[in-house]
Structure 1
């Protein structure tokens, strides 16, 4: 019997499970993703309340930024850790950090405590997001992967839809801490389910050997470049000026870290976080770039549509969360259909091409949003976008995994998730910059400079204005939001255009046989995808 070892000395963790065990495993992974996305989206509706309670109104957005930066930073690292130490132990560790971070956040008594706790939860959330998809790709065939990955996408979509609702209700009816505390026991129960359902396939080598195999220099450089680039992008223009010494210094350090990371991954690392061979794979490169662009619009929609509903139309947080449900329901429907279509047709390309066509149409239709737009029109546009998102998110991941060797499955998944969340962080930074600049320059001249500054820091200042001035302020905010929506349209259209250059690959066609040398003819290992 020949040991199943893949490139770079990593053990192939492919496992096949009976249907009953596979369904239990699928349930555990879907619950983990559901809780992760509830946690990341519920914060959006409770930040004003938390900021007021902790005297941190001016900086409370860092509760979301800390989570997103930590989540993004550890996506690739946890993927490579799972190659060296095994999927199960890394996933359980991620769930533990996620639980710990939420418990600490609920007990926070000051802003620094809260931001640090959200960063801990973000590290765990990043591991959950990557490992859930990697483990699912380990236990099903490539052709079935589209179906099961798409069904995992249902957990992501439902978590994104339930999160804002849950946060708003708990913050208004009980206390904001419960938005964090309620996640912790549910995650602990999920850990028990994961312990008994995720197969434990031993990874060759002792502990010291595994430690030596990790790309620690690349990991440090990866963390450094992610944090030093995303922090100034997220805080620039609000927490500190773009031309401030701290922003410039962080960008410079980030640029140096990127250069160092590329050099280490290319010439030094034995088991690199990002193997250089992926850069020579056209499909993988295009899909990663496309996913980065998707992140810009996907996270931007989740963030800016509620701002439009609350600050322009004057809807409550709970109503704005309700109006986001069509986006989620549309995504759930086409995610399911897309998964089965990929399995039946053995192709992924038609699914995400149709998805990007629908998404581009829905994003373009969003330009009709005005201060007086009816809820029916808003719901119609969001449903169309949801149809498009659901058809693209998971099918592109399956094609990226299929485009490279099975040994790169974990790293491709981790880098793909990194691309999406880093795109989201950059998209939010660009969108916020556009919104604030247009909003402040469009405010009526009748407002004093003091009121203008207060509105820039806290939009709730509008409640102190008379009806005429308040209406003019909402018009100015609508002008800023419209420019953000305009920015999103060509980004999605570019994703659609890139599909032309992405090669479709049949999912279950075996590779061409390679004739063995005479000496090897008697013992040829079989590699099962």
Structure 2
């Protein structure tokens, strides 16, 4: 819920924030968050296995609160981006550990109901986020989008301290640190960072075929291949079990792209509000658009709540933490690809369709146009209508491309086997019920 509120609220307020901080690198406000959050997810899963779920979760909440405070105090775009990177570290760990704790406490056969409740909470708070973010930005108090995270983090920490009483693996800190797969973590963090940097620059700051994009992208892909090879053959304490989850990467890389369509839609949301202001859109047409979005939302809700099952069903329950941290890493990484693909298509289409008179006003390129989308209603005719049509036609192409990608995701699921769902949990990570239970010696599961 913390992630849903902050992300959706920030999306609505980003144009106002960009104008106030007078920055042109606003794309990194989201990319820095995604980069740090994605790259450190495998590490958070490994630390949770060594130091216990509660300690790592509390640390993630502290980092999230610190990052929120830094973002709220930002006086420049670079400072805000740095704060977002800190936020991403905490957010990535929170997402991973929540999934791991849920798998510790709830059998896979009962997970559907719990996943549904979590998704409902996330959806409700995400729906309220744009209203909250837009209202705060409109009143000039956008910094409270970040400051609001701090009391939420505090409340979550108190709840964890009072009610999450799970075992902590024995051993000294030095012993546990020696068991951390530092080489694997370094490989995956460096490779992910390189790929995300290339994808963020592509089509916006540099052309897709430029060395500034191709070099980090190729190096990142080579690093990911090296990471997989190292984990599969060399690592003494591997971060992940690679091959049992290879199919999940195909599914998530295809299907999670579609789940980013609302983000792309919101990133150009003022063109839609421009429709209402410039056209006075008929209620019937608005209803049709909302109906289409509702159908898409149903599909995305099903994907979000059900993809845990094919990941965990083939594996022993003792592998839950490693599997889920790897799964969350792939999901977040696929989301970065999804935003990039949609953004690249939109950028290319806008370059072809945007009126020359409009581009002359913004010599930095089409990307800068996102920061002035709220000003479109104030443009003079016929320029205003031409810009509006360019956005509408470009978004149509985005939908067509993502529909094709959704079809590829569907094809990748055809060979999925039907497996029984686990009806028990890993007792090594069960809640402690009393003093005697708390004193039991922790013994690694052989399941």
Same fold flag (TM > 0.5): yes
For 1:31-58, what per-residue CA distance to the aligned partner results, in whole angstroms no more than 9, with x for missing partners?
xxx11221122211111111111110x2
Matched, 1:59 2:7: no
**Contact 2:47 2:180 survives alignment (8 Å):** yes
Counterpart secondary structure, 1:374: helix
State how far apart, in whole Å, the 2-side matches of 1:508 and 1:248 are.
44
C-alpha root-mean-square deviation of aligned residues, in Å?
A: 2.6
Matches within 5 A, 1:34-73: 34-56=1-23, 58-73=24-39
**Contact 1:313 1:371 survives alignment (8 Å):** no
Matched, 1:492 2:406: yes
Counterpart secondary structure, 1:176: coil
Matched, 1:451 2:361: yes
Counting matched residue pairs gives: 422
Q: C-alpha displacement at 1:288, in angstroms? A: 3.0
- TM-score calculated relative to the size of structure 2: 0.87
Matched, 1:395 2:306: yes
Alignment partner for residue 103 of structure 1, among 59, 63, 69? 69
Counterpart secondary structure, 2:413: helix
State how far apart, in whole Å, the 1-side matches of 2:299 and 2:34 are.
24
Matched, 1:311 2:278: no
Counterpart secondary structure, 1:259: helix
State how far apart, in whole Å, the 1-side matches of 2:388 and 2:283 are.
11
Matched, 1:380 2:340: no
Structure 1 segments of 4 or more deviating over 6 A? 370-373, 525-529
Matches within 5 A, 1:192-211: 192-211=158-177
Counterpart secondary structure, 1:501: coil
Matches within 5 A, 1:306-385: 306-307=266-267, 309-314=269-274, 374-385=285-296
Corresponding residue number in structure 1 for 2:393: 479
Change (3 A) 1:244 1:388: closer
Corresponding residue number in structure 1 for 2:437: none
Change (3 A) 1:315 1:479: closer
Alignment partner for residue 132 of structure 1, among 62, 86, 98? 98
**Contact 2:3 2:91 survives alignment (8 Å):** yes
State how far apart, in whole Å, the 2-side matches of 1:96 and 1:462 are.
40
State how far apart, in whole Å, the 2-side matches of 1:120 and 1:156 are.
22
Matched, 1:183 2:149: yes
Corresponding residue number in structure 2 for 1:416: 327
Counterpart secondary structure, 1:314: helix
State how far apart, in whole Å, the 1-side matches of 2:138 and 2:129 are.
14
Corresponding residue number in structure 2 for 1:20: none
**Contact 1:293 1:420 survives alignment (8 Å):** no
For 1:161-204, what per-residue CA distance to the aligned partner results, in whole angstroms no more than 9, with x for missing partners?
22222111111124110110011112111111111111230213
State how far apart, in whole Å, the 2-side matches of 1:316 and 1:455 are.
26
Change (3 A) 1:251 1:145: same
State how far apart, in whole Å, the 2-side matches of 1:480 and 1:405 are.
46
Change (3 A) 1:207 1:462: same
User: Any stretches of 5+ residues in structure 2 without a counterpart?
Assistant: 425-442
